[in-house]
Amino acid sequence: MTSTVDTVRELTYAEAIREALAQAMEADERVFLFGEDVGIYGGAFGVTGDLVHRFGTERVRDTPISELGIVGAAVGAALAGMRPIVEIQFSDFTAQAMDQIANQAAKIHFMLGGAAEVPMVLRAPGGSGTGAAAQHSQSLEAWFAHVPGLKVVMPATVADAKGLLLAAIDDPNPVVVLEHKLLYKQSGQVPADSGRVPLGEAAIRREGTDLTMVATGVMVSRALEAADQLAADGISATVVDPRTLKPLDSGSIVDAVVATGRALLVQEAPRSGGFMAEVAALIGDSPAFGYLRAPIRRLCGLDVPIPYAPQLERAAVPQVPDIVAEATRLVREW
């Protein structure tokens, strides 16, 4: 970290994460990684890559398959002064570790009256689209966003993959970083040195006048693609990417809806009780309420487990044409 001019290069989302991990480990010896196959294998999705060769097997530590134990060990290591970063191979397996995530990590600072901190990061990939079926494809952000004490981020761009992770590592609280499998190979511009993205700030990815689309994860790029198509059709859309789900930058969302009068909320997760329900609820009880020209619409994954067959898997979550169609309806009919 000696250069002073911050160069911007093209990296993949996975490389950007790896760069953040490496920089954090270089900057602070308390930072270390552990998880299943993060060492010599380089991570199930290749995210940790060669880090074990650069930092050794102590700091890039392979674990047995025991998610609850891994997260619990991260909690203990954090309590005893380290800054652990845990990789859970698929976010679906956070179910195994939910006690340590929700009952321990999230609550300890509060339960102990502030006498202890649990500065840890839990990285896990979510999402469908790889044919991995129902137990390897979920989008579980709503679970975590409902747990007081956790912070939750969902990087949707390559730069955010690095920037949000660096901010998460700095944070004195447990932060759940939900990556997306389909994004790992996507490329984008990333600042070499800094590039921290503060937690709790949404990004306005595009500004328009007819409707506001709020989207998370892989739906951000789909919403942007849809917005391009809509523009060709004379519909002008704002796209808001909350980036951090907890704490949520509700101000940016509300402002955008005030400006456009319509809201289309797009998520991959099943509709019922998904995170966009929270977004809809906050819009419906915000100053934007008085500006609404149309119902607050959600476009979500179906309320089904993710199926294996590619044609079924595609049908289970919103695709670009679905977004275009729904946005068009919302604007034309209201």
Ligand X SMILES: Cc1ncc(C[n+]2csc(CCOP(=O)(O)OP(=O)(O)O)c2C)c(N)n1
Which residues are tagged catalytic?
67, 136
Residue whose C-alpha is closest to residue 232's, from 260, 208, 213: 208
Judged by the rule CB under 8 A, the positions of this chain that interact with its own copies are 68, 92-93, 95-96, 98-99, 101-103, 106-107, 110-111, 133-135, 142-143, 145-149, 246, 248, 269-270, 272-278, 280-281, 283-286, 289, 292, 295-298, 302-305, 307
Which residues sit opposite 153 in a β-bridge?
177, 244
User: Quick one: what does residue 70 bind among another protein, its own copies, ligand X, none, with the CB cut-off 5 to 8 Å set by partner type?
Assistant: another protein
- Enumerate residues 48-107 that contact ligand X by CB under 6 A: 65, 67, 89, 93, 96
* 150 to 179: interface string for ligand X, x by CB under 6 A: ------------------------------
User: Quick one: what does residue 284 bind among another protein, ligand X, its own copies, none, with the CB cut-off 5 to 8 Å set by partner type?
Assistant: its own copies
Is beta strand 83-87 parallel, antiparallel or unpaired with respect to 31-35? parallel
C-alpha to C-alpha distance for 230 and 226, rounded to whole angstroms: 6
Distance of CA 178 to the CA centre of its chain: 4
Q: How far is the CB of 152 from its own copies (least distance, A)?
A: 9
Q: Are 150 and 176 in contact (CB under 8 A)?
A: yes
User: Quick one: what does residue 281 bind among another protein, its own copies, ligand X, none, with the CB cut-off 5 to 8 Å set by partner type?
Assistant: its own copies
Distances (CA, A) of 202 to 35, 144, 218, 227, 267: 29, 18, 15, 18, 16
Q: How far is the CB of 325 from its own copies (least distance, A)?
A: 16
Which residues sit opposite 180 in a β-bridge?
126
Q: N- to C-terminal Cα distance for the chain?
A: 53
Q: In terms of CB distance, is 35 or 119 closer to ligand X? A: 35
- Enumerate residues 22-41 that contact ligand X by CB under 6 A: 36
Q: How far is the CB of 133 from ligand X (least distance, A)?
A: 11
Q: Are 244 and 201 in contact (CB under 8 A)?
A: yes
Residue that the structure tokens 């009952």 belong to: 103
Q: How far is the CB of 260 from another protein (least distance, A)?
A: 28
Q: In terms of CB distance, is 289 or 308 closer to another protein? A: 308
Q: In terms of CB distance, is 144 or 275 closer to ligand X? A: 144
Sheet of 263-270, strands arranged across: 203-206, 237-241, 211-215, 263-270, 296-301
Give the number of residues written for the chain: 334
Q: In terms of CB distance, is 177 or 296 closer to its own copies? A: 296
Q: Are 226 and 323 in contact (CB under 8 A)?
A: yes
Which tokens go with 154?
A: 């969902």
Q: How far is the CB of 32 from another protein (least distance, A)?
A: 7
Residues that bind ligand X (CB under 6 A): 36, 65, 67, 89, 93, 96
